[in-house]
Chain A
Amino acid sequence: MSAPTDLGRADVAIIGGGLMGCATAYYLAKGGVDVALIDRTEINREASGANAGSLHLQVYIHPHFPDDWIDRIRPTIVLMREAAKGWATIEAELDADCGVRLGGGVWVAESPEEMALIEKKVAAERAGGVMSEIVMSNELRSIAPYLGEHVIGGSFFKGEGFANPLLVAPAHARAAKRYGARFFTNAPVTGITRESSGGFSISTGRAVFRASRVVAAAGAWTAELGRMVGLRLPVEGHAIQVQVTDGRPLVMLDHLLQHVGLGLTLKQSPNGTFILGGGWPAYYDRQQQRNTPLQNSMMGNAWVAARTVPAVGEAQLVRAWGGVGSGTPDGRPILGESSQVKGFYVCYAPLGFTMGPICGRILAEHFLTGEATVPLAPFTPDRFLEQAS
Chain B
Amino acid sequence: MTGSIEKKDLVIIGGGPAGMAAAVEARRAGVESVCILDEGISLGGQVYRRFGPGFTVSDQHAAGHEFRAGQTLIDEVMASGADIRTSTVVWGIWDKRIAFVRDDVSASTIEARAIIIATGARDRPVAIPGWTLPGVITAGAAKTMVAIQRVLPGRRILMAGSGPLALAFSAQLQALGANIVEVAEAAPAPRSLSLAKLFMEGDLETMIDAARYRTKLMISRVPLSYSTIIVRIEGGDEVQRAVLARVDRDWRVVPGSERTVEVDTVVLGYGLESSSELSRLIGCKLSYDRQRGGWIPERDAELRTSVPGVFAAGDGSGIGGAKHAEAEGRVAGIAAAGDLGALGAGEANSRIAVVHARLMRMDRFLTTLNQLYLVGPGLFELATDETVICRCEERTVADLDAIIADGVRDPNIVRALSRIGMGRCQGRNCASNVAAAIARRANCPPELVAPLSVRPPIKPVPVAALAEERPQSASETVTS
- Residues 402 to 461 of chain B near chain A (Cβ within 8 Å): 408, 413, 416-417, 419, 422-424, 426, 453, 455-457, 460-461
- B283 A262 Cβ-Cβ under 8 A: no
- Residues 456 to 480 of chain B near chain A (Cβ within 8 Å): 456-457, 460-464, 466-471, 474-480
Extra pairs beyond A299-B466, A306-B467 (17, CB < 8 Å): A44-B416, A45-B413, A245-B463, A262-B475, A263-B477, A278-B478, A285-B283, A290-B453, A295-B94, A295-B456, A296-B477, A300-B474, A313-B463, A313-B467, A317-B463, A319-B426, A320-B457
- Residues 76 to 92 of chain B near chain A (Cβ within 8 Å): 91-92
- A296 B426 Cβ-Cβ under 8 A: no
Contact of A279 among B91, B417, B462, B480 (CB under 8 A): B480
B119 part of interface (Cβ distance < 8 Å): no
Say how far B251's CB is from chain A's closest CB, in angstroms.
32
Asked if A306 meets B463 with Cβ closer than 8 Å, knowing A60-B480, A331-B480, the reply is: yes
Q: Mark A28-52, 1 if CB is under 8 A from B, else 0.
A: 0000000000000010110001000
- B456 A298 Cβ-Cβ under 8 A: yes
**Complex Cα spacing A303 to B94, Å:** 20
A120 part of interface (Cβ distance < 8 Å): no
- A317 B461 Cβ-Cβ under 8 A: yes
- Residues 94 to 153 of chain B near chain A (Cβ within 8 Å): 94, 97, 99, 107, 109
- Which secondary structure characterizes the binding site on chain B? loop
- B457: chain A residues within 8 A (beta carbon): 298, 317-320
A293 part of interface (Cβ distance < 8 Å): yes
- Residues 295 to 323 of chain A near chain B (Cβ within 8 Å): 295-300, 302-307, 312-322
B219 part of interface (Cβ distance < 8 Å): no
- B469: chain A residues within 8 A (beta carbon): 299, 303
- B463 A300 Cβ-Cβ under 8 A: no
Instruction: Enumerate 21 A-B pairs (CB-CB under 8 Å) in ascending A order.
Output: A64-B476, A166-B419, A240-B479, A261-B475, A279-B480, A281-B479, A290-B453, A293-B455, A294-B94, A295-B92, A295-B99, A295-B109, A298-B456, A299-B107, A300-B1, A304-B474, A314-B463, A316-B460, A316-B461, A320-B456, A322-B455
- B91: chain A residues within 8 A (beta carbon): 317
Say how far A115's CB is from chain B's closest CB, in angstroms.
15
Nearest CB to that of A285 among chain B residues? B283
Asked if A303 meets B467 with Cβ closer than 8 Å, knowing A295-B2, A295-B94, A317-B461, the reply is: yes
Say how far A305's CB is from chain B's closest CB, in angstroms.
7
Say how far A42's CB is from chain B's closest CB, in angstroms.
6
Q: How many residues of A contact B (CB 8 A)?
A: 56
Chain B residues in the interface with A (C-beta under 8 A): 1-2, 91-92, 94, 97, 99, 107, 109, 283, 408, 413, 416-417, 419, 422-424, 426, 453, 455-457, 460-464, 466-471, 474-480
**Complex Cα spacing A319 to B463, Å:** 11
Nearest first, the 4 A-B pairs at minimum CB distance are A263-B478, A300-B471, A302-B466, A306-B467
Contact of B464 among A65, A294, A296, A313 (CB under 8 A): A313
**Complex Cα spacing A297 to B479, Å:** 12
- B422: chain A residues within 8 A (beta carbon): 319
- A166: chain B residues within 8 A (beta carbon): 416-417, 419
A196 part of interface (Cβ distance < 8 Å): no
Say how far B82's CB is from chain A's closest CB, in angstroms.
25
- B463: chain A residues within 8 A (beta carbon): 245, 302, 305-306, 312-317
Please report the number of residue pairs spanning A and B whose Cβ atoms sit closer than 8 angstroms: 134
User: Which of A42, A238, A297, A317 lies at the interface centre, i.e. has the most chain B CB atoms within 10 A of its CB?
Assistant: A317
**Complex Cα spacing A304 to B469, Å:** 10
Nearest CB to that of A261 among chain B residues? B475
- B408: chain A residues within 8 A (beta carbon): 42
Say how far B201's CB is from chain A's closest CB, in angstroms.
39
Q: Mark A50-73, 1 if CB is under 8 A from B, else 0.
A: 000000000010111100000000
- A279 B109 Cβ-Cβ under 8 A: no
Q: Mark A318-332, 1 if CB is under 8 A from B, else 0.
A: 111110010100010
- A302: chain B residues within 8 A (beta carbon): 463, 466-467
Nearest CB to that of B408 among chain A residues? A42
Nearest CB to that of A271 among chain B residues? B393
**Complex Cα spacing A305 to B462, Å:** 13
Nearest CB to that of A315 among chain B residues? B463
Q: Mark A263-306, 1 if CB is under 8 A from B, else 0.
A: 10000000000000011110001011010111111111011111
- A299 B467 Cβ-Cβ under 8 A: yes
Asked if A280 meets B470 with Cβ closer than 8 Å, knowing A298-B92, A318-B426, the reply is: no
Contact of B2 among A263, A288, A296 (CB under 8 A): A296
Say how far A174's CB is from chain B's closest CB, in angstroms.
11
